[in-house]
């Protein structure tokens, strides 16, 4: 059995920058049709125009993953425009770095809502379509923060490990060959993820680490493409991709 990215229909959340935007360009460049969702629609407009100017197929819509109906609209757009949905890349995520003792409850809730609930909303929207079609693939951006636990990332890592657990349980529930699940765990990647950390000192430290060690989002996009292009009877369950110099 052979497969490729070409002609697959892929929806991507968090597609306005970083890994999401790089994945959109990588997959569209390989012949996939992409449906892009994010809150920053001005960036999505530019990205769609770039893909179309290069001969690719792309659609976009505003998506806030904390809103279940936004994910339902995204999946519906893919099916309406391209006839099906082969892959949902759940990439939207937020990071807030602080000791638990700071009691930043609003930041905790934001991470839970986007990083965990947002993934669940995507699954709820896509899974019925995958079941109806007889095939589908969930690719979810997790993090090495859930693999190596460090101070000040307790809740962030907790949301990522919750998603990892969720995907493994879903995989075990879905061994009939219809659904594939892939957890992509990036390490330091040059994105905007840490730009919204509230504490200036922690933000500067994280940004310096990203700048010094971070790999390009393009590298993660290629890893996602690798998982997607496998034959239908092959599942890349977990893939860790990080800088060779990351400790």
pLDDT in tens, 29-83: 999 999 999 999 999 999 999 999 999 999 999 999 999 999 999 999 999 999 9
Active site residues: 156
* Cα 13 from Cα 143, distance rounded (Å): 16
CATH code for the domain defined by 9-241: 3.40.50.720
H or E segment to which residue 86 belongs = none
Q: Which pLDDT value is given to residue 8?
A: 97
Kindly state the average pLDDT of the residues 155-161.
96
- Indicate the pTM of the whole model: 0.92
Sequence ranges of the domains in the chain: 9-241
* Cα 18 from Cα 91, distance rounded (Å): 10
b/e 165-178 (16+ beta carbons within 10 angstroms → b): ebbeeebeebeeee
**Band of pLDDT at residue 238, cut at 50, 70 and 90:** very high
Among 185, 193, 149, residue whose Cα is nearest residue 167: 185
Phi, then psi, of 235 in degrees rounded to 5: -120, 120
pLDDT in tens, 200-213: 766 676 666 666 67
Strand, coil or helix: what is 181? strand
**Band of pLDDT at residue 1, cut at 50, 70 and 90:** very low
């Amino acid at each position: 059995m052979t497969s490729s990215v070409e002609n697959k229909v892929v929806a991507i959340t968090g597609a306005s920058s970083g890994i999401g935007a790089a994945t959109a360009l990588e997959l569209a460049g390989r012949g996939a049709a992409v449906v892009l969702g994010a809150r920053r629609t001005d960036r999505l407009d530019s990205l769609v125009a770039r893909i179309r100017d290069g001969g690719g197929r792309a659609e976009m819509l505003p998506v806030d993953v904390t809103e279940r109906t936004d994910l339902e609209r995204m999946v519906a757009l893919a099916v309406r425009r391209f006839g099906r949905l082969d892959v949902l890349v759940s990439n939207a995520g937020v990071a807030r770095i602080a000791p638990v003792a700071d009691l930043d409850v609003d930041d905790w809730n934001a991470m839970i809502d986007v990083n965990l609930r947002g993934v669940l909303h995507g699954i709820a929207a896509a899974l019925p379509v995958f079941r109806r079609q007889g095939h589908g693939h969930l690719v979810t951006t997790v993090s090495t923060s859930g693999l190596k636990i460090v101070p000040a990332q307790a809740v962030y890592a907790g949301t990522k490990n919750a998603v990892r657990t969720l995907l493994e349980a879903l995989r075990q529930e879905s061994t009939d060959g219809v659904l594939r699940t892939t957890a992509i765990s990036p390490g330091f990647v040059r994105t905007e993820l840490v730009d919204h950390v509230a504490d200036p000192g922690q933000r500067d430290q994280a940004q310096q680490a990203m700048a010094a060690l971070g790999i390009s989002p393009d590298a993660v996009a290629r890893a996602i493409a690798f998982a997607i292009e496998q034959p239908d009877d092959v599942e890349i369950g977990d893939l860790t991709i990080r800088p060779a110099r990351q400790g």
